[in-house]
Homo-oligomer: A and B are copies of this chain.
């Protein structure tokens, strides 16, 4: 299927994911760059951090929870030193005694079962989440009872013909486990989003934005009853990437690295370091030291306060071992949960999960507008690819028809006087059939991609309309409380929700 890959690269290389017929493409590229530069300048966007009043505590009851998260890079027979690394990991985990262990890229169930056996005495409860062709690669080990689990498969996850990237076959998903931590109910999530293979020409960006959108939807809607929400995983996004901002601002999840009282680990909290022997340094450019793409995020509830007392990452090499645990660094966070009777219970459903004020609501609307733009770029690209597949299919059909006509002419006119060029005939016919079959499959695949992107964009449009109405309500009720926001006019993220 090399020619499909060529076709794909053709678009990516020539137009950076945006076909030329897409009228406002230049505008969108500029918007993309602008937004990226605006949001990359500050590491701690204070207005995005949700408001959790810890002043309303009473009857404080403190619980401490240690969480571990690692992308294990566990592709059997392909990842280097895979069995040795799992042995090292098993030793570490059985010794360290974490409350929750959130693993990604455990592609083989055998490796999960090996870890389960190693942790049989320390972590009684575990779950391995299956999906896709290979699996989701997600696993949870817990010292505390897992009451319930749920898996949400992302609607988009790369392309099956990009087999060398392999993401499509992994059936990427977000897994949830409902776990009791003392008297508190914790919703624990683990996920792994589509990898970024090129930062400049990232053809998977719309897919990753849709995954981030679905991830925030899933967490927001399933965590309403939870006292504590914890998400660990390889998000494959830099701290200020669009999907990451969307996730944190809509759910109110807080980044353990940014919130921790003590930190011990790699500089700037990077989790994919240039010194790692398993990764290609050139792939990290222009980030000389490395990038931060693995996270532990958390939030409490009106009933429960949550704080990050300390956080650490592994720093590449492991003492007394020739190589590190994985191509990613492992994260450990020590969270402190404080259950208390809330001073006041919000009546609004939205408030149950996240306290919005006019400032972060306006910011969320802006982020969602940016996300919609990105999804639209992906949509136009997918529509173009589908059109190309259809056109190539029609050409294959025309070629087959032409061949049959050419073959029929000597057969009708000359009989058996001239030898029939059967070799060429059958080879050409086989080629036509191959083209027809491949383009049909591609057409079906791209149609599914188009539908998923359209669906996500529709849902974003609706949600942004609702948020804008809420924002107008804020402005109407508090005309003087937020001097930074203009009291009238369409505002930065304003557009017709039904456009």
**Chain A residues proximal to chain B, CB less than 8 Å:** 127-133, 135, 145-153, 155, 171, 176, 178, 185, 217-218, 221-222, 224-226, 349, 352-353, 422-423, 426-427, 429-430, 433, 437, 444, 447-448, 451-452, 454-455, 458-459, 462-463, 466, 469
Partner of A462, one of B127, B135, B353: B127
A107 to chain B, nearest CB (A): 12
Residue of B127, B130, B149 touching A454 (CB-CB under 8 A): B130
**Which residues on B sit within 8 Å (CB–CB) of A458?**
127-128, 130, 149
| Cα–Cα distance between A441 and B128 once the two chains are bound (Å) | 25
Closest 3 CB pairs of A and B: A224-B225, A426-B426, A130-B455
B462 touches A148 (CB 8 A): yes
> B430 contacts A131, CB within 8 Å?
no
- Is the CB–CB distance between A129 and B455 below 8 Å? yes
For residue A79, give the distance in angstroms from its CB to the closest CB of chain B: 20
A349 vs B127: C-alpha distance when bound (angstroms): 21
Residues of B near A222 (CB, < 8 A) are 221-222, 224
Q: Which residues of chain B are within 8 angstroms of A221 by Cβ–Cβ distance? A: 148, 150, 176, 221-222
Q: Is the CB of A150 within 8 A of B217?
A: yes
Query: A352 vs B128: C-alpha distance in the bound complex, in angstroms?
Result: 27
- Assess whether B433 is in contact with A466, with CB atoms less than 8 Å apart: no
- Nearest Cβ in chain B — how far from A346, in angstroms? 11
Contact, CB under 8 Å: A225 / B423: no
Taken together, the copies of this chain in the complex come to 2
- A427 cross-chain contacts in B, Cβ below 8 A: 426
Quote the shortest CB–CB distance from A222 to chain B (angstroms): 4
CA distance A150 to B155 in the complex (A): 12
Determine if B455 and A131 form an interchain contact, defined as CB atoms under 8 angstroms apart.
yes
A226 CB, nearest partner CB in chain B, Å: 8
- Measured in the bound complex, the distance between the Cα atoms of B130 and A448 in whole Å is 9
Q: Are A171 and B466 in contact (CB under 8 A)?
A: no
Partner of A422, one of B155, B422, B444, B452: B422
CB neighbours (8 Å) of A459 from chain B are 127, 149-151
Taking CB atoms, residues of chain B closer than 8 Å to A452 are 130-131
Most buried by B among A146, A149, A221, A352: A221
- Inter-chain pairs besides A426-B427, A430-B430, 10 sampled, C-beta below 8 Å: A127-B458, A130-B452, A133-B447, A150-B218, A151-B155, A221-B221, A222-B222, A225-B349, A225-B352, A422-B422
The interface residues of chain B lying within 8 Å CB-to-CB of A218 are 150
Q: List 18 A-B contacts (CB under 8 A).
A: A127-B458, A127-B462, A131-B155, A132-B448, A146-B462, A146-B466, A147-B466, A148-B463, A149-B458, A151-B455, A151-B459, A152-B152, A153-B155, A178-B349, A221-B221, A225-B225, A226-B349, A430-B433
A133 near B448 with CB under 8 A, answer yes
Specify which chain B residues have a CB less than 8 angstroms from the CB of A151 in the assembled complex.
155, 455, 459
Q: What residue in chain B is nearest A180 (Cβ atoms)? A: B349
Residues of B within 8 A of A185 (CB): 349
Which residues of B lie under 8 Å from residue A462 when comparing CB positions?
Answer: 127, 146, 148-149
Q: A430 contacts which of B127, B132, B426 (Cβ < 8 Å)?
A: B426
In the complex, what distance in Å separates the CA atom of A456 from the CA atom of B155? 18
Q: Which residue of B lies closest to A177 (CB)?
A: B462
With the chains together, A452 CA to B133 CA distance in Å? Answer: 9
Partner of A426, one of B152, B352, B422: B422
Shortest CB–CB separation between residue A192 and chain B, in angstroms? 16
> Whole-angstrom distance between the alpha carbons of A427 and B425 in the complex?
11
Measured in the bound complex, the distance between the Cα atoms of B197 and A419 in whole Å is: 53
CA distance A178 to B352 in the complex (A): 14
With A152-B152, A423-B426 already in contact, the answer to whether A451 and B130 are too (CB < 8 A) is: yes
The minimal Cβ–Cβ distance linking A36 to chain B, given in whole angstroms, is 27
Chain B nearest CB, measured from A352 CB (Å): 5
Rounded to whole Å, the gap between the CB of A375 and the closest CB of chain B is 12
